[in-house]
Structures are given as structure tokens and as C-alpha cells.
Amino acid sequence: MHIDNLILEITRKCNLRCEHCMRGDPQRLVMSNEIINSTLQHVDSIGSLCLTGGEPSLAPEVIENLWLSIWWKKVRVDGFDITTNACPHNRYGRFLKAVDKFYNYCDSPDVCSLAISRDQYHGYVPSRARIFERYMKDIYQWEKPPYFYPEKRGTYIEEPIGEGRALDTGAGWAPMKEQKPWEIEDNYVMENEVYISANGNVTSCCDMSFARIDRECKGNVLTTPLPDIIKSFCIDKSIAKEA
């Protein structure tokens, strides 16, 4: 199976408590190797691989294990997208090295991106940026890696999604509507994200709270093969063509 847009929630840990966070309060949960292997067992290639959370830099071991599984299974990956809050901690060096392995593996390195959340809710300040850049310099010999785009994320969020903490604090409104079915054609999943949570739950939308993801998931990769989950909630265009 090819998936155009695969999003892996590698952890629900976070070192911030942003009032706009659609996920809700952090949880002490990281994605297990069993979930990684169950997900990749039926995946041959990935267009865009997004690693999210929580704060992804808090789970560098998951990124390492994911890269190793992808390499071992020879899963083709075009590129990745990762966003960090850039709050340095003692595992940041390991996180950046793991990201670099992914960059060297991807087929289309020009579409790889590591960005920083730069908005009014994350309290982005120059001092934090300088500390983060120091980590980068220590690892990359004073050269910024080609996939690092510190200016990619905007500096102001006009309409936070009304999920999770954003709903509790009143920072967000207009929660996400119902999930839309995946569209597949000849084992190509082309429409909507395939979102795998840290506990293995699968949804077709990433913009939901942890609680809603768990409540409205379409299945779990630990109990049901991923293709079966997708086919149970999809529009199969190849069948439509035959009809």
C-alpha cells in the first residue's frame, strides 16, 4: 500500500502547556516498536511522512526505531515534515541526529522540513532561538542543515482549532467536523491523512484532541491490519471505475 500523507503521533509528551493546543493535556505516552512495525507491515511507500505529537523532540528513540524499521523494510519515503517548539532539553542532540538520518534516507530531500512553532502561543523569543541554533551548530559544524526552515511557521495564529485545551481555555473555536473517508485507488491512499496515534489508533484527520482521536478512531493497528482499517472507511475509486 502507498500512502500519500502518513502522520505518526510519536509521543503525547510535551514540555509546554499552550492554551491553544488542540491535543489537550500531555500524556506520558510514546509510540512503541510494536505499533511502528504493525503500521509499516503493509506500507510499501510514503509520500509525505509527518512526525508529530506532543513534542516530537522528546521521543528521539522513537524516531531512531522508526528510521531503522523503514530502512529494514525498504519502505520508500519521499520526504518528511516535523515541527518542534524549540525548547531545548538534554535529548535535543539525539533528536537532531535522528532527523538527519531520515533526511539522508528520503528520496526527495528537497521536500524535507524541520520547522519551529513561531506564534503568539509558544512564547517564541530570540533567546530560545539562539539556544536552539547553538544545538544545531554543535551538531552540524556551524552549518544550518538544508532541511531546517525556522521561518516556515507563521508568527500569528488567527483561528486556533477548538479542540483540547483550546476549547477549555476559550482560545479556539469551530472544532473539526466529522472525519472524511479515505480515497483509495489500486492500493494508493490519496485523500486525507492517515493518522496513527501513539497508542495505535487510526483516524483520517489529524486536527483533533487526544480524547477525540481515541473516541472516534476507525480502528487500531495492534488489533486490525492497517489496510483493513482504511478499507472499512473509504471510497474505493478502482471499484467505482469497474462499475
Binned at pLDDT 50, 70 and 90, residue 5 comes out as very high
Decide: helix, strand or coil at residue 57: helix
37 vs 175 pLDDT, higher one: 37
Residue 243 has pLDDT above 50, yes or no: no
Percent of the chain with pLDDT over 90: 64
Domains of the chain: 2-242 (3.20.20)
Three-class HEC string of 92-140: HHHHHHHHHHHHHHCCCHHHCEEEECCCCCCCCCHHHHHHHHHHHHHHH
pLDDT, tens digit (0-9, with 9 covering 90-100), for 132-189 = 777 777 766 656 778 887 667 667 788 889 999 998 888 888 777 789 999 999 999 9
Largest CA distance in the chain: 61
Other beta carbons within 10 Å of 7: 20
Percent of the chain with pLDDT over 70: 90
Query: Stretch 12-31: mean pLDDT, rounded?
Result: 95
3-state helix, strand, coil in the chain (%, to 5): 35, 20, 45
Q: Could you give the C-alpha distances from 121 to 14, 77, 111, 163, 217, in angstroms and in order?
A: 14, 32, 27, 15, 28
Q: Residue 129 has what pLDDT?
A: 65
Averaged confidence pLDDT in the chain: 89
* Amino acid, res. 114: L
Q: Residue 195 has what pLDDT?
A: 98
Residue 42 has pLDDT above 80, yes or no: yes
Write down the residue that cell numbers 509521543 correspond to.
11
| CB of 60 closer than 8 Å to CB of 11 | no
